[in-house]
Structure 1
């Protein structure tokens, strides 16, 4: 969750105000100076690896017109299996770039495979945004002390890693820099195949968390487009904002934190065993740190690698957009980055013979290239829509530029549909306020709004807890970032359509010109809109949430599935949070 979303949670504002003088008196921890960052780059000739040879063989056997191939990964099994397959297939290099890597069961299985790959001679580089590397999750940093593995933390937060709260207080004096985060996601093997999209690494992203799971979409890419993904990775890896783990924390400190985490887990298990089953006084569910049971893991996925020899690739032209690292400020005492543009278009995909381009993709990428950031580029792209625009954005906070783009599209007769989280399905409910305050304006201009269904959500979710439903079942939370335009252009990436992604976090997006992949994505989105989402409409001077047909649910005039307390809390405190900080 972005740094400012934590600070904007209403129940913590008062506590911060009271404690601020104390922390200013204590002073802020500092980041290390004169850090050595040996420069390294992606594998130069991926075709010489078995994975690269497989890509060439598949392309030749299928007589593909285009150099790059894509698989739309929808669902935890395919998402997890693709990463396992890349780990097992890698012979030379593995490059991982993520906003969050959680120390839990699913990640443990993946990272054991990464360590095994390093021990057989694969060079591993792991680049992780530093925001979530506290407490138990800091243990992921032990990778840096494994032979043949390098790990760097991007835009680190100074201070001890025992708790996220303590690090936040240390960051108060450098708030503008620290609230900006590296939100990119890449998983690349031998510079020949790679996965990108919205997923971080953790149980909740692979369908086995006990309390709440994210609905997400990834793309497996093969061919020259992966080299462009790697160039983006290298630009972040070799940037001054990337700190080797060893410059931030020692192995001894991590081992101490590991022992503390184990002791805390044992104590929690003992408390759970002695509990009498009584509910908390307010009746709200509490999240559990317990990992998934074997039955839950088996029901979600069977931990089998995807068969890269038989998976069906769609060969198509593609463009990748990636924000430059300069979008995030360096240390406050460093000279400013003077790069002319914080956005980067890193490829213009050609057909296999290199002689023919698809004008629609050229026009789209040229429009996107005019933006100052990835999201601004996508807004330029929206200006090219002629018939249909379908968007999934879990955090949807439209700024003035976005609303102008939607209004112009509607004026051209373009059908615009947006699927986002409901208040109940949002893992950061305060961000829902930034969407809700624009809801009636969007509906008035003709934008169709759909909100993801969820189980009952109460005050616990206002604190960011992906809480269990009232029935004890895990609830679903939308996390996919997808755009489909005119039935022929598919965009999958890390970006939300909100001001945070546009102005603060770094993002990336893969634009694929494919009617086949666009149809597949639209089919999945339509299914959710028809059976798993509330359709929001204006009626009789207010809003009404239309229940999905056949769901057995009734239409409602209040935020569905959210408790009265949560709705009231956000109504009172929501106006205090500006859009750009949500």
Structure 2
């Protein structure tokens, strides 16, 4: 071992010991785990064969799907879940209707109102005899070791496993991230981004949503515009097989066997799972009642469901994270998505929150654009004002010229205050005035910036709850805006090809999804479904909801030289210092001859649009410098963003 490596190893060891995270021995770990096992309740509240499952109209969908299916012609029912309350009602109704099993797999599980509501439902299902398996990625799992220890001890029918834990812990403090980065960077980066709720191997929900308030319109200052897909039918068995592979993986560790949890159990005993102190109990109760109302469930979820034939589940497995994984198991989800796009003839609609493309994706879109009659490629993504991932946006901003000129992208960036978006605050009982009042701090003297905003009739928007995530989650802190309000950020991941095939899943179409994260998606080969999904994406692209990216007016002085310098600077691997970028944001202005927004490549684009600057709605301040820094020096981060 070299002297440098020896010193690095010693430094890591000192940090580990200083932070009290040295691994437990096998006997100590087993003793801690036994505390949880001994504390688990074994009594079952129900002796009925169906575990006293609620007779939900939602289960009519999987009953019909299996009844209408044959081995050669499977039948499915699907429902696009655009609105957050509907997505949460669907989850509650599914859990309450479970007769045999519930499998839940996710990246983020927070200890807020939405998270605790689902945890309580899972606990109740286990108590009536349903087998419940909960699989969480380590980096964005539950907040407290005590909560994890309580869940691991609550009932014999409820099992909790943590995927790919680093440093033998369920929770990593900020200093521990630094330690993990130094000693275990490769393992730390390999995350389970797959998301699935599967009931009785018959009906499932998958898509972009995690378990956190701001995925269900319950965030106080920031919410995600997201999308899930409810799917019922034989494909659910394939989902079950994929979940089983993750569950059986050596990377999925029983929570009670992790060092910090076992240490807590040995020292404190098995804690009780305390009743949650909901931040807005009336809102929680109202939504929980909706899931009990058969009329509401039928109207919201069953009636709008579509009968479809061609459904496939494409998913990575845990083998993706093996160093010796066969090539076919490295990124099957990414391969399948690229194959779908490569077959496009007329149009590709792609929705992703983070427009940072992997090298294979770049090669694909470049080759499509070079075809004699290339398909139209329309992208729905975040603006700087709406994104929760400032660094990812900075990298995408660097490559706008490439996206427009080399790939032919028509890019529509989501507004933070869209005029027409599927958010239903009234359905959850959220009082915006009360929410704003909660964020006020009357005892603190307003800052200079706040006083200046007040003079202009403006107020600071509340910070996003998503800031509580780990440094390796896709989110972060949204930038400051010029005005206050309930801000939305795009988080949906969807694809429509030729209004023939529609895809809803977890893949951001980014480098992490190709090589580091496990991903999954449902592919529906059905024109009616594809048109419905395309309509949902186009709604997010509408002028009231998004700005369009177009070429900046050329400089009147030596425009050719300016373009050449900008292109050379962009191609530099690190030092992209040219300050003027190729493209900027535009707002559609309807009028005579401009009834419909033209394409950015149409001759009438500038006549029907007005430029609104590179970062509309953003109160940049020092953030402008940050964007320029990451544009100039951050391209090397693209593979892990």
Task: Name the TM tier (shorter chain).
Answer: 0.7 to 0.9
Match of residue 150 from structure 1: 159
Match of residue 106 from structure 1: 114
CA contact (8 A) 2:501 2:530 kept: yes
Shift of 1:94: 0.4
Give 1:281-360 correspondences, 5 Å limit.
293=280, 303-304=290-291, 306-307=297-298, 310=303, 312-329=305-322, 336-339=323-326, 341-343=328-330
Identify which range, 151-160 or 55-64, moves more after superposition: 55-64
CA distance in 2 between partners of 1:23 and 1:211 (Å): 39
CA distance in 2 between partners of 1:561 and 1:232 (Å): 43
Match of residue 391 from structure 1: 350
Match of residue 622 from structure 2: 565
CA distance in 2 between partners of 1:157 and 1:390 (Å): 37
Among candidates 478, 487, 490, match of residue 475 of structure 1: 487
CA distance in 2 between partners of 1:391 and 1:195 (Å): 21
Shift of 1:321: 1.2
Report whether the alignment pairs 1:443 with 2:404: yes
Distance 1:564 1:490, change over 3 A: same
Match of residue 526 from structure 1: 538
Match of residue 78 from structure 1: 86
Deviations 1:519-541 (A, max 9, x none): 11111111111121110001323
Match of residue 378 from structure 1: 337
CA distance in 2 between partners of 1:246 and 1:300 (Å): 32
CA distance in 2 between partners of 1:136 and 1:487 (Å): 45
CA contact (8 A) 1:183 1:505 kept: yes
Distance 1:571 1:69, change over 3 A: same
Distance 1:427 1:53, change over 3 A: closer
Shift of 1:398: 1.2
Match of residue 519 from structure 2: 507
CA distance in 1 between partners of 2:66 and 2:612 (Å): 55
TM-score, scaled to structure 1: 0.75
CA distance in 1 between partners of 2:132 and 2:289 (Å): 25
CA contact (8 A) 1:394 1:478 kept: yes
Deviations 1:182-207 (A, max 9, x none): 00000011111010001101101111
Give 1:1-40 correspondences, 5 Å limit.
25-27=14-16, 29=21
Distance 1:141 1:395, change over 3 A: farther
TM-score, scaled to structure 2: 0.69
Distance 1:373 1:438, change over 3 A: farther
Among candidates 504, 529, 552, match of residue 492 of structure 1: 504
CA contact (8 A) 2:164 2:191 kept: yes
Shift of 1:493: 0.7
Distance 1:300 1:55, change over 3 A: closer
SS at match of 1:319: strand
SS at match of 2:477: coil
CA distance in 1 between partners of 2:87 and 2:59 (Å): 23
Deviations 1:158-211 (A, max 9, x none): 266666303202312011111111000000111110100011011011111112
Work out which of the two has the higher radius of gyration on C-alpha atoms and give 1 or 2. 2
SS at match of 1:480: coil
Give 1:132-147 correspondences, 5 Å limit.
132-133=140-141, 135-136=143-144, 139-140=147-148, 142-147=150-155
SS at match of 1:70: strand
Shift of 1:127: 0.6
Deviations 1:497-543 (A, max 9, x none): 11111111111111111111111111111111112111000132332
CA distance in 2 between partners of 1:526 and 1:291 (Å): 36
SS at match of 1:131: helix
CA distance in 1 between partners of 2:88 and 2:208 (Å): 13
CA distance in 2 between partners of 1:58 and 1:243 (Å): 37
CA distance in 1 between partners of 2:351 and 2:252 (Å): 31
Report whether the alignment pairs 1:169 with 2:169: no
SS at match of 2:613: coil
CA contact (8 A) 2:493 2:505 kept: yes
CA distance in 2 between partners of 1:229 and 1:101 (Å): 20
Match of residue 453 from structure 1: 415
Shift of 1:253: 2.8
CA contact (8 A) 1:184 1:506 kept: yes
Distance 1:86 1:527, change over 3 A: same
Distance 1:419 1:310, change over 3 A: closer
Shift of 1:487: 0.3
Give 1:115-130 correspondences, 5 Å limit.
115-130=123-138
Give 1:86-97 correspondences, 5 Å limit.
86-97=94-105
CA distance in 2 between partners of 1:257 and 1:489 (Å): 53
SS at match of 2:612: coil
Shift of 1:555: 2.9
Shift of 1:327: 1.7
Shift of 1:576: 3.1
Among candidates 534, 548, 562, match of residue 535 of structure 1: 548
CA contact (8 A) 2:504 2:523 kept: yes
Deviations 1:255-280 (A, max 9, x none): 97999x99xx9xxxxxxxxxxxxxxx
CA contact (8 A) 2:109 2:142 kept: no
RMSD: 3.8
SS at match of 2:139: coil
Distance 1:63 1:378, change over 3 A: closer
Distance 1:309 1:239, change over 3 A: same
Identify which range, 516-525 or 25-34, moves more after superposition: 25-34
CA distance in 2 between partners of 1:569 and 1:482 (Å): 29
Match of residue 351 from structure 1: none
Match of residue 210 from structure 1: 220
Deviations 1:12-32 (A, max 9, x none): xxxxxxx99965642475667
Identify which range, 471-480 or 197-206, moves more after superposition: 471-480
SS at match of 2:96: helix
Match of residue 449 from structure 2: none
